[in-house]
Amino acid sequence: MNTRPEDTPATLQVMRYDARRGTLSVIVGDPADVPREILARRAVEAMRARSFICHTTDDDALLGADEICFIPRADRCEIVSIHTNGWHRHHGDHRRSLVEILNDLAAAVARGTLSFLDGEEIAALAAEGTELFACTIDGPASLRQARAAVAQVLEQHGVGQDTRRRMELCVSEATTNVLVHGGGGGTMRLRLVGDRLRAVVADSGPGLNFMNWTEEAGGVYQPSMGYGYKIILDNLARVYLHTGSEGTTLVLDRTI
């Protein structure tokens, strides 16, 4: 039986070209069939040009991605691509398009707000500093508990109301993602790392499926697709994300 393109989930792929080693590794997504030589060559071009390069393409040589972005850093180049697999918004749909979402993610990587990390890197970040609070996210009522914990900790550290509210909002969005996209449960931990409050929100769900951001999930319309991450990326100094078949971990840092 043939699979229709619209039945295939939209996917995100993140790769990293290490200029010192001359190697390309896959951080998020399926490592199979990655055209490493072509991607490495394009990454080197972006690093030489010291310029963010974005291709909108249906060129199979570039993974068949709908859009692929090369983001040069000092010693490496981040490569972010998205495959929409033919998904398009219907007329009048107010939801954000997958390419809009990708552009936001790529722009956040470019300005240094967002880093995609592998499992070991995110685990090291999640263990830094001192733990202040931990809770299980196992239902919508947990969201309030998570927000209240953030508010209490920030208030204890004399953080102003505006900053408190924005951090509460970001943690609420991250924990909502755990419930909606992360298999329905996970954990939220607050840590103090130097002068930063760090929220570590983790689930052991199936990993981010970008189609879930744009489609009705289980027949229940999820109206927030893509907006939660926009709020998180617009309001925090640093965000770290790892997602894979073993789950998703989001680390949110805000200076206090």
Partner 1 sequence: MLHTRIEPGEIPVIHLEGEIDLDSVETFRWVISDAIRGASEAVVDFTGVTFIDSSGTGLLVRFCLDYKAQGVQLRLRNIPPVVDDVFSMLKVRALVGDDAFLDQ
For binding to partner 1 (CB under 8 A), which residues are involved?
92, 94, 140-141, 143-144, 147, 165, 168-169, 172-173, 176, 179-180, 221-225, 227-228, 230-231, 234-235
Q: What is the C-alpha separation between 27 and 21, in angstroms, rounded?
A: 16
Interior angle at CA 44, CA 43 and CA 48, nearest 5: 120
For tokens 């907006």, the residue is 227
Beta carbon of residue 158, minimum distance to partner 1 (angstroms, whole number): 20
Beta carbon of residue 5, minimum distance to partner 1 (angstroms, whole number): 26
- Concatenated DSSP letters of 156-210: HTT--HHHHHHHHHHHHHHHHHHHHHSTT-EEEEEEEETTEEEEEEEE-SS---G
Q: Rank residues 25 and 222 by Cβ distance to partner 1 and give the closer one.
A: 222
Beta carbon of residue 148, minimum distance to partner 1 (angstroms, whole number): 11
Q: Rank residues 166 and 238 by Cβ distance to partner 1 and give the closer one.
A: 166
What are the C-alpha distances in Å from 77 to residues 46, 104, 189? 8, 17, 31
Amino acid letter, residue 180:
V
Q: Rank residues 1 and 141 by Cβ distance to partner 1 and give the closer one.
A: 141
Q: Rank residues 44 and 231 by Cβ distance to partner 1 and give the closer one.
A: 231
Beta carbon of residue 173, minimum distance to partner 1 (angstroms, whole number): 6
Q: What is the C-alpha separation between 239 and 196, in angstroms, rounded?
A: 12
Length of the chain (residues): 256
Beta carbon of residue 136, minimum distance to partner 1 (angstroms, whole number): 15
Q: Rank residues 154 and 180 by Cβ distance to partner 1 and give the closer one.
A: 180
